A and B are shown apart, each in its own frame.
Chain A
Amino acid sequence: MIRSDVLKTLIPMISDQLVVSNIGLPSQELHLLDDQPTNFYMLGTMGLSSSIGLGLALAQKAKVIAIDGDGSVLTNFGTLPTIANNPADNFILLIIDNGSYGSTGDQPTYAGMKTSLAKVAEACGCDNVVECSAEDTAAAVQAALDGDKMTIIVSKCESGNIKVPVIDMDAPVIRHRFMAEVSRLNA
């Protein structure tokens, strides 16, 4: 399974949840599969999906799923100690780890070589770290949603991309409709 296959299996459980989606193809794939006002698409700024997700989870009550990639976590490694030391039990960080920089042409990342992101997250102090196969990801996300503990999921999948259009929506529109959903879920 490649990333878009994993995302497809997640739609039934994340469709009505607050989702912060990583820059590039992950956001474009999610937008194509299931555009929702509860999705915050990052159009730029590689690496900050987990940080935006944590800030959002700490500021309000609804559950937040940040979808990140191995390359993006590698570029913002400082995020993992911050997450570990500021736990938000409504926060799920899903790292889709395909061992490559998918949006830029599938160049290999160190996460696909000797570096284990799950072990790094644990070493940083994150308490609930789950590494799973692409096939088991939906069950892991559902279990995290059913629980009330901050969870880091590292989903090991294959490298590869589908053809998707870029997101045409204006950034302030994405933010505005997303914030309206945050208000609704916290009402």
Chain B
Amino acid sequence: MSINQKIVNDFIKNKIEFVTTVPCKQLAGVIDEIEASKDIYHIPSNKEDEGMGLCAGAYMGGKRSAIIMQNTAIGVTINTLVTLIQYYNIPLPMLISYRGEIGEPVACQVEMAVHTKALLNQLNIPTYHFHKQSDADELDAILNHSFMAKKPVAILTDASFWQGA
């Protein structure tokens, strides 16, 4: 089973039926897998805060939701995370490509990478960093944790993690 299939299987196991995505090169395979899944409604969004609004609505409609996005989106979504997702106690797993880490070819990506964990820490968002493929063994439990706690969680997936795909 590919890592992309494993991720989507864990989504389905946790009854996630509504996923929004904003693409990143590292996430292309998992986005394809989401699109191909019969169990998940895939709704691409144009900006990540819009996507979080869609996820909040779907959750209130009875469908567990998740967002797949790049770490640059943390800069875009701080207000939405604080005043919608956290303020209303809405669970939201965020599968995030952690651009700008070791192996990154684009220097500008490093500029946001150096702020990513500090921002998530400042927002009190539980954060998990997948560096090796075996780190994804914990994904099932992390997703379950998000819905139990009714909180957003961040799963940062770096270049080393995806190189093994």
Contact = CB atoms under 8 A, between A and B. Distances in A.
A58 interface: yes
Contacts of A178: 60
A58 B90 contact: no
Q: How large is the interface on A (under 10, 10 to 19, 20 to 34, 35 or more residues)?
A: 35 or more
Contact of A47 (B45, B49, B65): B49
Where chain A touches its partner, the secondary structure class is helix
Interface residues of B, number: 33
Interface stretch (B31-39, B81-89, B101-109, B137-145): B81-89
A56 B58 contact: yes
Given A40-B60, A47-B49, A52 B54 contact: yes
A55 B84 CA distance: 14
Interface string B1-40: 0000000000000000110000000000000000000000
Given A45-B83, A48-B53, A59 B43 contact: no
A179 B63 CA distance: 11
Interface in B25-77: 41, 43-47, 49-63, 65
Contacts of B50: 47-48, 51, 76, 78-79, 82
